[in-house]
Structure 1
Amino acid sequence: MNYKGGVGKTTLTANLAAEIANRGHRVLMIDLDPQTNLTFSFFTVEEWNADLRNTRTIQRWYDGEMPGRDIPLEQLVLTPERVNAKVKENAGQLDLISSHLGLINIDLQLAAKLGATTLGESKRKFLQVHGCLAAALKSPAFADYDLVLIDCPPNFGLVTKTAIVASEYILVPAKADYLSTLGIGYLRHSVDKLVTDYNDYLGHGSVGEAGGKRIEPKFAGVVFTMTQIHAGQPINTQRMQIENTRALGDMPVFRASVRNSPRYFAEAGPDGVPPVLVGAIDDPVSRELRALSDEFVEAIAGGKHRS
């Protein structure tokens, strides 16, 4: 996640998920961004309009008196055919819960559910709303996934907060420029405050639908995207920005980065297969994405994790 859009967040999610699934793992992606670009990486707009728009998106799950009351989350899981024809060659599986353009209005609906007349009721509703996605992912239907990747919108609204409460790790894509890295420290502060508030309410005996488990999401780190490469490394201004971010110490910085390559990523078209699975194996971007996948898996090693 990142407060700033245009940092390659969705492209990174699609390719990271596809590469890990292609290694024989079961991966679930959840598209929480109303721009719906992750969904359109695996389904055409025509397919989405015809088959998914009205009944099979995450918006339907968030709608209603309380998220999940009208439909269980597991009923929204889709298995995109084209990419799975590829990853199943290596015994992997890649599933998706689709987004919807109308998801942009869900933050207001969730905020309305936080209203209360007593402090105890306020804490209970806070935990219930913020913990709704975490509670849904505890369903046995999700137990066999090795990894769940959640693509968040570029803001810190309530939908994003439900994703953070449900996550064990947070991955922060960023461009190696001042504006893209400006909010990294503030993002850490915002996450820390959410975690403190959530756990404090639990400590006072207010248990929401997510149960009484404290949350401890960790930052897997910052991964720099869209780098411009000269002589085998990012150009000087970008390299300085990367080193400055590392020196600040707000969160770890991945050694691997992903260069800007419109040609390479243009291959992620209507075929619904991310370029990491179809690009030349010796292409520099393919190598970078595989190196990032190695480092990411290493960073979250030790169990089944969500980021």
Structure 2
Amino acid sequence: MRVHRRLSEGLAEESFNQYDLILIDCPPNFNVVTKTAIVASDHVLIPAKADYLSTLGIDYLRRSLNELVGDYNDYAKLEEGKGDTDRIDPTILGVVFTMMQIYGGDPISAQRPFMSQTAALGVPVFSNYLRENKSLFADAPREGIPVVLNGSAGARKVVSELEGLVSEFSAKLGM
């Protein structure tokens, strides 16, 4: 458990005091990198596709998160008086659905049940989501400009969705 504290200790250094918010992007598995990031975090944001396997993974992540917090806090209790091991209590800020297929301004009917299923798990779900646009995202590296600067109608929709997501994210954090 001491290894999991390393990132948290690093982020506590004075050079990070200038930041109001630090986002830590993790791989989509529950390995030492992800565990270390969770120990260093106050909140967990879960990006997910609205499909069968991804929604199963959300429940697995929630159970694994609770187990990690319990184990870490048991360790912190044993270490009381020996050092600076504080207990942790990261909360799931919510699930952001990504790679959404949109028809008529809404997610396609095949994706909506998975969104509802996730909400039924008791996990907060962001009302904003990010659409899939293979041609727009695939061309960005070749053209050498970020999607948000593309200027096309598709890019404007992506920018609008990102703005909505950031606003909802900020509101959930009380910023």
TM-score, normalised relative to structure 2: 0.89
Unmatched 5+ stretches in structure 1: 1-125, 303-307
Question: Contact 1:280/1:286 (CA < 8 Å) preserved in 2?
Answer: no
Equivalence for 2:165: 292
TM-superposition CA deviations, 1:192-244 (whole Å, max 9, x none): 111111111111235787x2321111111111111111111011111121112
Secondary structure in 1 aligned to 2:95? strand
Identify the match of residue 42 of structure 2 among 168, 177, 192. Answer: 168
Equivalence for 1:257: 129
Identify the match of residue 222 of structure 1 among 83, 91, 95. Answer: 95
| One-letter amino acid matched to 1:182 | L
For 2:82 and 2:108, the matched residues in 1 are separated by 49
Secondary structure in 2 aligned to 1:266? helix
For 2:158 and 2:119, the matched residues in 1 are separated by 23
TM-score, normalised relative to structure 1: 0.52
Q: What is the correspondence of 1:22-171 to structure 2 with a 5 Å cutoff? A: 126=1, 128-171=2-45
For 1:207 and 1:152, the matched residues in 2 are separated by 32
TM-superposition CA deviations, 1:249-275 (whole Å, max 9, x none): 1x1000001111123323542787642
Question: Contact 1:199/1:214 (CA < 8 Å) preserved in 2?
Answer: yes
- Larger RCO: Structure 1 or Structure 2 (Cα < 8 Å, ≥ 6 residues apart)? 1
Equivalence for 1:238: 111
Secondary structure in 2 aligned to 1:132? helix
- CA, structure 1 residues 239+132, in 2 after alignment: closer, same or farther (shift >3 Å)? same
For 2:64 and 2:95, the matched residues in 1 are separated by 16
For 2:111 and 2:18, the matched residues in 1 are separated by 40
- CA, structure 1 residues 164+171, in 2 after alignment: closer, same or farther (shift >3 Å)? same
Secondary structure in 1 aligned to 2:96? strand
Report the Cα offset of residue 286 of structure 1.
Answer: 1.3
Identify the match of residue 65 of structure 2 among 191, 195, 213. Answer: 191
| One-letter amino acid matched to 2:48 | A
Secondary structure in 2 aligned to 1:297? helix
- CA, structure 1 residues 273+132, in 2 after alignment: closer, same or farther (shift >3 Å)? farther
| One-letter amino acid matched to 1:255 | S
Say which structure is richer in helix: 2
Identify the match of residue 200 of structure 1 among 61, 74, 86. Answer: 74
Report the Cα offset of residue 290 of structure 1.
Answer: 0.9
Percent same amino acid among aligned pairs?
49
For 1:190 and 1:294, the matched residues in 2 are separated by 29
1:279 equivalent in alignment to 2:154: no
Secondary structure in 1 aligned to 2:110? helix
For 2:36 and 2:7, the matched residues in 1 are separated by 6
Question: Contact 1:153/1:160 (CA < 8 Å) preserved in 2?
Answer: yes
Question: Contact 1:259/1:285 (CA < 8 Å) preserved in 2?
Answer: yes
Secondary structure in 1 aligned to 2:99? strand
- After superposition, the CA RMSD in angstroms is 2.1
